[in-house]
Chain A
């Protein structure tokens, strides 16, 4: 064979390899589903991270998977990690647009619209009833409603939260404050924050978010607590550019620049604040009870350091508190067998007392806090709620009095605004300016944000 022939053969082989590789890429690989063995395979996301709680949480999840598969020998559950929080909004959107999400995928209560816009959710209405999900009738109706569109159910809710004021008991005591009496108004928060910040050593009396959409999220929560709302009742225009909106930003601005009680480093996002909190550098922040679990599980803090009060109000109790939560969506195109398998798994791991997220004995053994008032998904007073509460109390490793102010002062729940993540991104700018600019023009900031949100709302129609 001449050199010329070798070159020709080499070139053709190269071309064929490239073509075959591309063809392989385009084939979509192995589709999960019913294998030739007759088993149904489902891919589930959002297992605990390997690093969470030194791997103990993931080991427990894997044990749950094994136990479930033993109960359902015809189902194979595969878990894939999608990172911390399970739903970092940009990653989540990217996965949706690329159609690369898991068969049964975690989502926030605010995600229904974008999941439907991307055409990525399967209608599971006919698969969910009291025989497939035995406690379905005792699930919070509000949690079901946010995953329902035009009478069709697109996700199984399994966790709901409301916000309150999370306080570091140690810092309260060191500052001469009584941790059993957390502040109940924003004025009291400011006063206590100043005393805690006076401890020095880089401690912030109160800390808040201002980047990565979390700033807008907390602006919303703090506006709700004053009785405000983010958008008009018809959902067509922004409704925060008013005295209540200004009060949110002015309180934070004054705490940051007049009282100097929020530290100099701002533009904080979810992990930044909780890292500081776990390190004992944050006196107070607003958050849901499960943020304390995150402090322990992910940021290696101690749950015994924390207590909770209700969401602070303007001049008295809060008018409302931001509620949210999450559930599992089912990817478009799943087979009926896969949907049934997915429902069975979510029911087992997330909606069965004593199992999975409600396996308090295992959580206690792993050193996680047991006895937090939330997440809560059951209708208060229902039989399953009582069972869950008894199990929780039997295994608690907390001083439940630390959470009595939060539990005994319930606040009306208000859900997130339409296009929540987009609206939150806009309000990040207002929060970041209020927390970093000593001369911030509060009314100007809100006017700009209002204009942006109005543009968003019009575009979203």
Chain B
């Protein structure tokens, strides 16, 4: 009797395990085929070279060659500048807008839809709109407005100094809506009593934000920071559409654009793979350090 029960128990456990693993299989296969295998393949390719259909091992040669590519420092510098600026605007601004929206008593739904609208526009379409807006003559809306206000106009993406800020403006406009909605969801989960208590203690608006809002949304803020760094470091479509890729004198060449250049314009897939591995190492390193330093959920 006991043996039969234990056998049934064992069979049940095995069936449960089988069911669990079967459900998992789809996800694992998808990750394996579309994420892990390409990563391994990229790593292998970064140490190879293919000529006339014949692939050979070349050790670190692709990495050394890229290191000496004159566009290499510019690509990392531009990517870092874009990331910092995009974080300043694309990270802080949506949080402030979300706080403002959260404070509103009227038309919140309408405004929420309004700020989310740009996200619904396909990125390429949005960027083509910006391309017209950045026209360096007065035909561009930005220069038209600046001129109307008697302010100096700009060459925007044609300028070596304004090119990256131009990309940041477009990118922030395109992506802000999604971040705002995420922040808003986090803000709406903060218990109202906390604000009431703060108000009773005489805390002003800024104090309430600092002592209630920020600590209560710390986890989501921390996660969004990581996601935004990883996303902005992969800058590509903005320079491709707004500045023809490299821009003027490599002013908009990003690491991913340089990768694209090597892979699809210079027929150098191995060099592109080496660059991809470098970016992977940098982002993985940053993520590991960041996660280690970030507060855990149960930490104050």
**A266, CB-defined interface residue at 8 Å:** yes
Are B248 and A436 in contact, with the CB atoms below 8 A? yes
- Please encode chain B, from 248 to 268, with 1 for each CB lying within 8 Å of some chain A CB and 0 for all others: 111000000000110111111
Chain B, residue nearest A94 (CB): B264
Are B265 and A90 in contact, with the CB atoms below 8 A? yes
Cα distance A118–B269 in the bound complex, in angstroms = 10
Partner of A421 from B65, B139, B246, B265 at Cβ < 8 Å:
B265
Q: How many residues of A contact B (CB 8 A)?
A: 51
Q: Which residues of B contact A459 (CB under 8 A)?
A: 65, 268, 271
Are B158 and A266 in contact, with the CB atoms below 8 A? yes
Cα distance A386–B297 in the bound complex, in angstroms = 83
Are A445 and B249 in contact, with the CB atoms below 8 A? yes
Partner of A117 from B23, B30, B52 at Cβ < 8 Å:
B52
**A100, CB-defined interface residue at 8 Å:** no
- Please encode chain A, from 57 to 95, with 1 for each CB lying within 8 Å of some chain B CB and 0 for all others: 000000000000000000000000000000001110110
The smallest beta-carbon distance between A276 and chain B, in angstroms, is 12
Partner of B263 from A93, A117, A263, A429 at Cβ < 8 Å:
A93
Q: Which residues of B contact A448 (CB under 8 A)?
A: 70, 249
Cα distance A448–B243 in the bound complex, in angstroms = 20
Given A116-B52, A437-B248, are A97 and B159 neighbors across the interface (CB < 8 Å)? Answer: no
Cα distance A380–B139 in the bound complex, in angstroms = 48
Given A8-B19, A116-B53, A265-B136, are A452 and B247 neighbors across the interface (CB < 8 Å)? Answer: no
Are B135 and A429 in contact, with the CB atoms below 8 A? no
Q: Which residues of A contact B271 (CB under 8 A)?
A: 459
Cα distance A19–B26 in the bound complex, in angstroms = 8
- Please encode chain A, from 413 to 429, with 1 for each CB lying within 8 Å of some chain B CB and 0 for all others: 00000010110010011
Q: How large is the interface on B (under 10, 10 to 19, 20 to 34, 35 or more residues)?
A: 35 or more
**A14, CB-defined interface residue at 8 Å:** yes
The smallest beta-carbon distance between A2 and chain B, in angstroms, is 10
Given A90-B264, A452-B69, are A433 and B248 neighbors across the interface (CB < 8 Å)? Answer: yes
Are B264 and A89 in contact, with the CB atoms below 8 A? yes
Cα distance A211–B65 in the bound complex, in angstroms = 24
Cα distance A433–B163 in the bound complex, in angstroms = 13
Given A264-B137, A436-B155, A452-B71, are A18 and B30 neighbors across the interface (CB < 8 Å)? Answer: yes
Partner of A114 from B155, B159, B267 at Cβ < 8 Å:
B267
Cα distance A428–B71 in the bound complex, in angstroms = 13
The smallest beta-carbon distance between A101 and chain B, in angstroms, is 14
Given A22-B29, A118-B53, A211-B244, are A437 and B160 neighbors across the interface (CB < 8 Å)? Answer: yes
Chain B interface residues (CB < 8 Å from chain A): 12, 15-16, 18-20, 22-23, 25-26, 29-30, 33, 50-54, 65, 68-71, 135-137, 139, 155, 157-160, 243-250, 260-261, 263-269, 271
Chain A interface residues (CB < 8 Å from chain B): 4, 7-8, 11-12, 14-15, 18-19, 22, 89-91, 93-94, 97, 113-114, 116-120, 202, 210-213, 263-267, 269, 419, 421-422, 425, 428-429, 432-433, 436-437, 445, 448, 451-452, 455-456, 459
CB-defined A-B contacts under 8 Å, sample of 26:
A8-B19, A8-B22, A11-B19, A11-B22, A11-B23, A12-B18, A12-B22, A14-B22, A14-B23, A90-B260, A93-B265, A116-B53, A119-B50, A119-B52, A119-B53, A211-B243, A211-B244, A264-B137, A267-B157, A422-B265, A422-B267, A425-B265, A429-B249, A437-B248, A451-B70, A459-B65
Sort A-B residue pairs by CB-CB distance and give the 9 closest, nearest first: A119-B53, A211-B244, A11-B22, A90-B264, A422-B266, A114-B267, A18-B26, A436-B158, A15-B25
